[in-house]
A and B are shown apart, each in its own frame.
Chain A
Amino acid sequence: MPGKKHLHIESSGQLCIYCGACVGVCPLNCVYLDETRITFDEKICTRCEICVKACPVGAIEIG
């Protein structure tokens, strides 16, 4: 989407520990954890970056 930042989640397993902190903190319910895969609904996400802060290991980047 033009003008909107892109979400990038480090999902190769190098950083993400699939703890679900990002899922619980999302005010819009647009982060999903499915065993070892985390996905964002980019259409809903407003880039508030709360999940970025909540991630204990820094696996989420918005850039």
Chain B
Amino acid sequence: MVENLTTDVLVVGAGPAGSMTAKWAAKSGARVLMIEKRQEIGSPVRCGEGMSKDWLKEVGIAPSNRWINVEVEGARIFSPSEKVLEINEKHAGNEVGYVVERDAFDKQLAIDAGNAGVDLLLKTAATGVIRENGKIVGVKAKRFGEPFEIRAPVTIGADGFESQFGRWAGIPTNLALRDMDSCLQYRMTNVDCDVRYCDFYLGKVAPGGYVWIFPKDVGVANVGIGVQLSQIHGMAEAKTYLDRWIAKHPGYAKGKTIDVVGGGVSISPPLKQTVADGVMLVGDAARMIDPLTGGGIANGCIAGKICGEVAAAAVRDKTPTKEFFQAYEKAWRARLEEKLYRNWLAKEKLCTLSDETFDKVVDALEGVKLQKLSVHNILKAVHEKYPDVTREFESFL
């Protein structure tokens, strides 16, 4: 028989957003319990493992060789005919900076949370919410298969792309087909990757998404693909497209696969609502993934810090209400929403481009030294060489 528990702040899910929320709630004075359904934090990895680094300081993460594989210099974007656009690290989007060992990264964040006083239960899955007078006051859970209850004035849903918690809490998190990617990745050895760059291949090689090469070491790389659900039709399309891409690239066709990673990624506009009475959502569960890059770690951690601080304040004031949680809703939106929405619009446009147009865009940018990589600057550069290509993008200019 497992005993029922009570805490101030309950965090469901011990990924980066969960650990970050838990840590900052504890540092702000709350009693925090974090539960994780798996037996091991960070494993199995479901991630391309590329991330930017400019946000780490903001949320209090110290870079460490325990989880950094490679520090890349920049990104290379390959058009369908494989014209190359090289982007300096400083000017690149979310996916450049470090290539990391995600399981080690997640464990480090859980260690930071534990050191801040967070209690942690593994092999503990939430199975539903407890409602009293219409308000959520905790979760029903199973620990090593045995049912019990955890009560808390504030419960945080940090349960990732598969999030059930938001739906249990009555927060709409459903996605349109065009706002979801199906992803598959092989970690390959004996490949001709360049450890200086994260590579992205655009166009019909990956309908609505891209193929990525993120170097883990000399000769070792994560070779992956995301394809948009509204642009695929049959079964196993992610695998079919990825295998086809690899077969056409001799530097990768000779590689040996040592790991297979799959998963879903949301590429949606921001949710309209991420809080309810007694409840906040954070990270992939709140659909905070960047719709253009598919990167979710930075946004999850940035929102997690805010979420943890607001959760602790709600406990202190005994006001775990939807109204009080507007402080979180407003703060994370002020920090992230504009870019999420802008990148969603850009994604929607990019998905409509033909391979020919992609070639023209990359060709126009080849040799152009951009001051700053932004949709606006790219379009300006393309406009100078191919005004016809940018005609339908005039709203962005």
Interface positions of A (Cβ within 8 A of B): 17-25, 27, 29, 33-35, 50, 52-58, 60-61
* CB-based contact B236/A21 at 8 Å: no
Contact A25 to B180, CB < 8 A, known contacts A20-B162, A53-B232, A58-B236: yes
Q: Which of B125, B174, B177, B262 contacts A21 (CB 8 A)?
A: B262
Q: Which residues of chain B are within 8 angstroms of A33 by Cβ–Cβ distance? A: 162
A27 and B262 alpha carbons, distance in the complex (Å): 20
Q: Which residue of A lies closest to B163 (CB)?
A: A24
Q: Which residue of B lies closest to A16 (CB)?
A: B262
Q: Which of B244-295 contact A (CB under 8 A)?
A: 260-264, 266
Interface positions of B (Cβ within 8 A of A): 38-39, 44, 46, 125, 160-164, 167, 174-175, 177, 180, 182-184, 229, 232-239, 260-264, 266
Across chains A and B, the number of contacting residue pairs, with CB separation under 8 Å, is 80
Q: Which residues of chain A are within 8 angstroms of B162 by Cβ–Cβ distance? A: 20, 23-24, 33
* CB-based contact B180/A54 at 8 Å: yes
CB distance from A33 to the nearest CB of B (A): 7
* CB-based contact A57/B46 at 8 Å: no
* CB-based contact A50/B229 at 8 Å: yes
* CB-based contact A29/B263 at 8 Å: no
* CB-based contact A25/B46 at 8 Å: no
* CB-based contact B229/A25 at 8 Å: yes
CB distance from A36 to the nearest CB of B (A): 10
* CB-based contact B236/A56 at 8 Å: yes
A20 and B162 alpha carbons, distance in the complex (Å): 7
Known contacts A53-B232, A53-B234; 7 additional CB pairs below 8 A are A25-B175, A29-B164, A33-B162, A35-B38, A54-B180, A56-B238, A57-B238
